[in-house]
């Protein structure tokens, strides 16, 4: 049972435009959400996170939005750069659980 | 400081064999988690260790086991390998555990079962 879902396996965006990656979750107990980026032959790298007490967190070109009522979060990358091309994983956890539930990933391709 | 180190990077085993994978966390980190990544399934949680104690376990058969040593290094073992165990196995370390502090992943061990 996939508790975190990324329904778009791939996304292509022109350089300089906005990339929007989406993620849905089913477990209402999740209260901490993260995005990881993964290049081929490397482990996932932490990108940005958000606690359920917030609805937005921004770090440079990356902004994560959380809509708790819809159990939906999104990652916005503005402006997109070719170096952003990677697989992006959404993940969620519940306080005290000590493990993360990951989505299946979205492959982002930024076209120069 | 050095990152999370996983050895070996690549491994080919035959069905029925067993395998042991190793993970050295970032110095000072006491939490080590293991994940299995397969195409279409994302990262599936295997187990998490903190100070040599398994705190949480995912939904995997008993053929998958792990342990953590006093220096926080961790090993995972898979016995009676099946073709479906072919995957990238990732280890992550953090100071306290996921959801509390940021976790750092190693490059993974690519296991192929033939």
Chain B, 43 to 102: residues with Cβ < 8 Å from chain A are 43-45, 48, 50, 55-56, 58, 90, 92, 97-99, 102
Residues B3-42 pLDDT 10s = 999 999 999 999 999 999 999 999 999 999 999 998 777 8
**Would you state the pLDDT for residue A97?**
74
Q: Give burial (CB, 10 Å; 0-12/13-18/19+) of B89.
A: buried
Please say whether the beta carbons of B37 and B87 come within 8 A.
yes
Q: What's the farthest any 2 CA atoms get from each other in chain B?
A: 39
Please say whether the beta carbons of A95 and A28 come within 8 A.
no
Cα A99 to Cα A64, A67, A108, A111, distances in angstroms: 21, 22, 25, 35
Residues A18-50 pLDDT 10s = 999 999 999 999 999 999 999 988 899 999 999
Which chain A residue has its CA at the smallest distance from B31's CA?
A98
Cβ–Cβ below 8 Å for A46 and B40: no
Cβ–Cβ below 8 Å for A99 and B45: yes
Instruction: Answer whether residue B2 shows pLDDT above 90.
Output: no
**Would you state the pLDDT for residue A98?**
75
Distance of CA B94 to the CA centre of its chain: 13
On average, the pLDDT of chain B sits at 92
Interface check A21 vs B, CB under 8 A? no
Please say whether the beta carbons of A96 and A8 come within 8 A.
no
Instruction: Answer whether residue A14 shows pLDDT above 90.
Output: yes
Cα B77 to Cα A63, B65, B85, B111, distances in angstroms: 39, 5, 12, 12
Q: How far is the C-alpha of B67 from the C-alpha of A35, rounded, in Å?
A: 28
**Would you state the pLDDT for residue A15?**
98
- Side-chain half-sphere exposure of B6, counting CA atoms within 13 A: 27
**Would you state the pLDDT for residue A40?**
85
Please say whether the beta carbons of A38 and A47 come within 8 A.
no
CA distance B37 to chain A (A): 9
Cα B98 to Cα A12, A13, B37, distances in angstroms: 30, 31, 17
Residues A64-103 pLDDT 10s = 999 999 999 999 999 999 999 999 999 998 887 778 899 9
**Would you state the pLDDT for residue B75?**
98
Residues B48-97 pLDDT 10s = 999 999 988 999 999 999 999 999 999 999 999 999 999 999 999 988 76
């Amino acid at each position: 049972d996939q508790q975190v879902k990324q329904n778009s396996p791939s996304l292509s965006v022109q350089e300089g435009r906005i990339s929007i990656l989406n993620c849905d979750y089913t477990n209402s107990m999740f209260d901490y959400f993260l995005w990881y980026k993964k290049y081929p032959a490397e482990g996932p790298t932490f990108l940005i996170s958000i606690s359920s007490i917030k609805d937005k967190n921004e770090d440079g070109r990356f902004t994560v939005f959380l809509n708790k009522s819809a159990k939906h979060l999104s990652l916005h990358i503005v402006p997109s750069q070719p170096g952003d091309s990677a697989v992006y994983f959404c993940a969620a956890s519940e306080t005290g659980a000590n493990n993360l539930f990951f989505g299946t990933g979205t492959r982002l391709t930024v076209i120069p | 400081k050095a990152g999370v180190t996983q050895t070996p990077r690549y491994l080919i085993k035959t069905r029925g064999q067993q395998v042991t994978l190793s993970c050295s966390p970032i110095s000072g980190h006491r939490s080590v988690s293991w994940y299995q990544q397969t195409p279409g399934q994302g990262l599936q949680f295997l187990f998490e260790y903190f100070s040599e104690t398994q705190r949480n376990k995912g939904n995997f058969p008993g053929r998958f086991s792990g342990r953590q040593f006093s220096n926080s290094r961790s090993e995972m073992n898979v016995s009676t390998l099946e073709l479906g165990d072919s995957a990238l196995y990732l280890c992550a370390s953090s100071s306290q555990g996921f959801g509390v502090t940021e976790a750092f992943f190693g490059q993974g061990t690519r296991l192929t079962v033939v």
